[in-house]
Each structure stands twice: as structure tokens, then as C-alpha cells.
Amino acid sequence: MWNGTSLLMDDATLIDLVFHREPIGKSDHECLEWSQNTPFVQPQDDPAKHNYWKGDYSKINQRLENINWQILLDVDTVEQKWKIFKIRSINLLWNMYH
């Protein structure tokens, strides 16, 4: 078993066992074999897909026009503005169709 100090990993708990193996062919480099501890993630079913052909874009535009964007987006960074716009838009659509 390998007694080295690092295997170029951020998290030492990801590697369980490390073994030295013989070099391949005439190489002077050792081969390493290890077990990696990674959690199994069950794949999810296909996420819901939106049918954009059925959107009531006139109503969506009307509701977006009723928002005072100058006041709402009076924040410091573009990232903050994007988050506010994104959350407001998602909430608006969610409330319209659910």
C-alpha cells in the first residue's frame, strides 16, 4: 500500500486505498491503483419541459410592464440585478401557470 503524502486531491477522503504496481513495459514510472469513494447519484426522471408555444406572451409582457424596474433594480452589481430579474420572472410565470 502507498504511504505517500498526496495524490493531487482536494479531499483525502475521496481516496480509500492506493497500491503501488509494477511499471508497464520498460518504463521507470510506477503505476498506482486506487479505490475512489464517490457517492452514487440516482439519475432523475426527465424534468418537466415547458411548452413555449402555449405561452400567453401578451399577458406576460403586460405583467412585466407593470413592474417598476428602476426601483426594483436599484442595486449595486449586475449580478444582483440578474438575480432579482430572474427570481421576479420565474415567480411571475409560476403564478400565471400553476
Distance, CA of 8 to CA of 72 (rounded, Å): 46
Same domain, 34 and 60: no
Which residues span the domain enclosing 76?
52-97
Q: Is there a contact between 34 and 18 (Cβ–Cβ < 8 Å)?
A: yes
In a domain, residue 13? The reply is: yes
Same domain, 31 and 58: no
Question: pLDDT digit of tens for each residue in the chain (98 aa)?
Answer: 445 545 566 677 777 778 888 888 888 888 888 887 777 788 777 777 777 888 888 998 999 999 999 999 999 999 999 999 999 988 888 887 76
Query: What's the domain count of the chain?
Result: 2
The pTM of the full predicted model, rounded to 2 decimals, is 0.46
Same domain, 34 and 71: no
